[in-house]
């Protein structure tokens, strides 16, 4: 089973936002009964692959896409004026993706068991 999720982390400004795409691939899922501390629990056993892709979206409201001259000015502004802040925000996006990855791994490792 393959599951896609889009998760919007936050809007950086009125012009930019972070979007993380999560792809879950779940295979060989079976139910197993596990005894823990004299209690029986029914858990799922299988394999999960998680793919995370982070996107830095600018002009998500399409304000600069109305006319060709606006697209030209947007390209100039992004390339020359806001180059350093954009690269810093992209590095912050990488940190957000790594944080989400550690949160997912931690959650899935809570339920790991050995036979």
- pTM across the whole model: 0.67
Greater pLDDT, 112 or 89: 89
**Whole-number mean pLDDT of the chain?**
80
Max CA-CA distance within the chain? 71
DSSP class of 66: S
- Which tens digit of pLDDT belongs to each residue from 69-88? 888 887 887 777 766 566 78
Q: Output b/e per residue, 15-38; b: 16+ Cβ within 10 A.
A: bbbbbbebeeeeeeeeeeeeeeee
The yes-or-no verdict on residue 114 having pLDDT over 60 is no
CB 29 within 8 A of CB 3: no
Model confidence at 8, pLDDT cuts 50, 70, 90, reads low
């Amino acid at each position: 089973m393959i599951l896609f999720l889009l998760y919007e982390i936050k809007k950086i400004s009125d012009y930019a936002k972070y979007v993380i795409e999560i792809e879950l691939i779940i295979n060989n899922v079976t139910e197993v009964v596990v005894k823990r501390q004299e209690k029986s629990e029914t858990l799922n056993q299988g394999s999960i692959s998680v793919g995370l892709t982070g996107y830095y979206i600018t002009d998500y409201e399409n304000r600069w896409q109305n006319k060709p001259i606006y697209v030209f000015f947007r390209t100039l502004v992004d390339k020359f004026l806001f180059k350093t802040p954009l690269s810093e925000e992209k590095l912050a996006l990488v940190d957000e993706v790594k944080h989400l990855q550690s949160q997912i791994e931690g959650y899935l490792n809570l339920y790991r068991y050995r036979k």
